[in-house]
Structure formats: C-alpha cells, structure tokens
Amino acid sequence: MKRISIILFFLTISFSVMAKKNIQQTDRQVWADIVYRMSEPVLHNMSEGTLQKNMLLELSPTWDGRDKRVSYMECFGRLMAGIAPWLSLPDDKTTEGVQRKQLREWALKSYANAVDPNSGDCLLWTENFQTLVDAAYLAESFLRGYEALWEPLDEVTKQRYINNFTALRRINPLYTNWLLFTATVETFLQKANGSGDTYRLSSTLRKINEWYVGDGWYSDGVSFTFDYYNSFVIQPMYVECVSELTQHGKQKDYAGCSYPIAWKRLQRFGAIIERLISPEGTFPVFGRSITYRTAVLQPLAMLAWHDRLPEGLSHGQVRSAITAVVKRMFSDNRNFNKVGFLTLGFNSSQPATANVYTDNGSLYMASLAFLPLGLPANHPFWTSPKESWTSKKAWDGELFPKDHTYNEKLNALNYQ
C-alpha cells in the first residue's frame, strides 16, 4: 500500500509538471517576456546609476580603439528606441502591465541619469564621433514615446537633453545613413521646442530621397550595399522624420520628400522582409552588423505598430512570422551572457562575427523588432488567429501570393 502511494505521489507530480509545460503562452506573452528579460538588467542598473559599473562589457576582437564608454549610450539608446511604444501603454494589473510599469519607472530615472553629470551613468556626450549615432536612437525613443517618456521628465533633465542634442551639430555626419542620425535629432528638437535646424533637416532628407534606388530599397550613400541597413536605420528613420515634419501627412511633403511615397516604399520593403523569413523562423545572414539580430525585422514591426501592413499581409501571419524568429533566437540562454546582458554574436556567443565598431551594447538594436508591443492586447495584431507566413505557405505546398515589384513612376505594384 505504501509503495502504491509513493507511485501515485510521483505520478501526480509528473502530471503536474507536464500540465505546466503544456500551458501555452500567447505570442504576446512570449514577446513581453523576452523584452523584459532584455531590458531589466539595463534599466534596473541604470536607474540606480550602476550600469557602467555592473554591465559585463564585450568588445569586438577587432575593436577599433574608440572610447569603450560609447557602449553604454548604445545599450540604453537602442533599447529605448525599441521599447518606447510598449512603455507608452497605460498601466494595468496583468503580469505584463506590472512589468511594463516597472520598466517605465526605471526608464524615466535612467533618462535623468544619462544626462546628470553627478551620476555614475552619465553618458558620453562629448569627445566622441559615435555619440551622434546613439543620441539619435535616444531622440527616436522620445519621438516614439513622447507623452510617456519625454513629457514626465523634469525641466532640468529636459534642458540637459536639449543642450546635448544641440551640441551634436559639431559632428559632421558620414555621407551615408548617418545623415539620418542628424535628421532624427533635429526632428526631435523641432518637436520639443521648435529649434530644429531647417537646413540640416531639408538637406539630409532630400539626399536620402535622392538615394532611393527602387523597389523599396535605398542606397547607403552613393553606392548600393547589400545589407540590412534599410532595416536598421534608413527606412524607419526616414519615414519617422518625414511623418513628424509633415504633421503625419497633413502636409503632402517636406522639402520635396513625399509623405505617402515614403510609407509606400516602407511597405514594399516590409513585404520583402516578410518573404525572407523562412518556414523555420530564420532569415538570410548577410551584410555588416548582422549581430543586431532581430533588428532586421524593424520595418515589418514598424508597419504593424502603425497599422499600415501592406496589402496581402495579415496581422496573424506577420505576428506568427516574427514570433517564429524571436522564439528561435531568444527562447533559451545562448544570446545572454552570465550576468544577463546580450552577448556578442548572432545566435550565441560568436565574437568573430562582430565588426570593428561592435560591442554588446550595440546589440540592443534587437529590441526594434518588438515595436508591435505598443499595440494594446485587444488589437487584431494580437487577437487574429495564427497564420502561416509567405515562405511557410510556399514550402508547405499551400497557395501563396506571387511577388510584385513596386514601380515608383506608376506609384503602384507592377503585376507583370
């Protein structure tokens, strides 16, 4: 009898464990858990002024010798650019809501510490060329979460940001996607207090527009490069600047840069990114800065967040496609180091994949895939049934839509 009781006891435990394993998380829960895990070590530490003390820093084996303190601005700015929409949602009593509120509180303290000269986490605002890049991601986070993240800051902190952003005019940007870092900072200054430099804005945006090469792609400078910088920088920042400066389409264009055409180009590029996601939840690994991981998906994520998915892409298929990628990449520990920060690599610790300018602070660009968390939980993006994405349909032998070139002159898809 005693033996039977013991057997029943262990069977009960086994069934209980199995039941817990069989409880399926929603896609939103999966995303929120990953983002919280990514964000907590950064924001908890920085809110207390201890990020620079406690972050386990990893530098490229071919590091070019720049001041390694740029890593902390990269880490904070890039993370916030990705999670700003999520932190802008109203509080609620769900597990996600509690975590989101905590992250927002930490973020607001972190923003203050980032510009406080008496804080251990005051960022490297001077003496470095790279500062322009990551100040732009901080500015982008304010554009994406203006009411929740900019407006609550005290006046001293706000003025410090205005001063630091304005002082970046000393930096002459590279004649590449870097023009958009200048444009993003100036766009924020224009929104915050009307002090954006009109010449810098008009000249940089016109040049990016001139670099459009067709079918959703911009050239990164005078020569086209086959990489993901249209995802990391060009498409999102160009659209955001043009959107803000045209008052989200109330004006047709800004400095000859068309608001509707900017969005149509982004939609075409987003459709291309969706087709690159394999049935297994992977995407092609090519181009520099591939260590930015899921930042490759930013255009598709941005379209979903703005409820502007291109015709033919449903909420369910885009959510399912992005979920497949983020689960494949972040469902275990391989992309986090021993103290919880992102590790240098693509899909594990792979330092040799890093470029000369890459540190593990750079990798928080990965947060840019999670922009749709800024949609409420009852939005169709989250409530629509799971659906196969284009490549999965194709390789599973299901019907799938053929691809079409976006013809700029016709301002339409070419169906030939």
**pLDDT value at residue 17:** 43
201, 207 contact by CB (below 8 A)? no
| pLDDT greater than 90 at residue 358 | yes
Query: What average pLDDT is seen over the chain?
Result: 94
Scanning 129-258, the segments in alpha helix (DSSP H) are 131-144, 155-167, 179-193, 198-210, 229, 235-245
| pLDDT greater than 70 at residue 22 | no
258, 300 contact by CB (below 8 A)? no
Q: Out of 1.50.10, 1.10.760, 3.30.1380, 3.40.50, which CATH number does the structure's domain 27-388 have?
A: 1.50.10
Q: What is the average per-residue pLDDT within 287-311?
A: 98
Instruction: Please give the C-alpha separations between residue 263 and each of 176, 181, 235, 368, in angstroms, as whole numbers.
Output: 21, 19, 9, 18
Question: Other C-beta atoms within 10 Å of 122: how many?
Answer: 17
Q: What are 101's two structure tokens? A: 């509120």
Q: 391 in helix, strand or coil? A: helix
59, 362 contact by CB (below 8 A)? no
Residue linked to tokens 């659906």: 387
Provide the pLDDT confidence category of residue 128 given band limits of 50, 70 and 90: confident
| pLDDT greater than 80 at residue 122 | yes
Q: What is the average per-residue pLDDT within 327-354?
A: 97
**pLDDT value at residue 45:** 99
How far apart are the C-alpha atoms of 209 and 321, rounded to whole Å? 30
262, 242 contact by CB (below 8 A)? yes
**pLDDT value at residue 415:** 47
Percent of the chain with pLDDT over 90: 91
Q: 59 in helix, strand or coil? A: strand
Q: What is the average per-residue pLDDT within 134-162?
A: 99
Residue linked to tokens 């939103």: 28
Name the pTM for this structure.
Answer: 0.93
Q: Is 255 exposed, middle or buried (0-12, 13-18, 19+ CB in 10 A)?
A: middle
- What residues are paired with 414 via a beta bridge? 405
Instruction: Please give the C-alpha separations between residue 241 and each of 211, 247, 264, in angstroms, as whole numbers.
Output: 16, 10, 15
Q: What is the pLDDT of residues 208-241, one digit of tens each?
A: 999 999 999 999 999 999 999 999 999 999 999 9
By residue count, the chain amounts to 416
Q: Which residues, other chains included, contact 232 with Cβ-Cβ below 8 Å and sequence gap of 6+?
A: 177, 289, 292, 295, 296, 298, 365, 368
Q: What is the pLDDT of residues 372-386, one digit of tens each?
A: 999 999 999 999 999
| pLDDT greater than 90 at residue 19 | no
280: Cα within 13 Å, side-chain hemisphere? 4
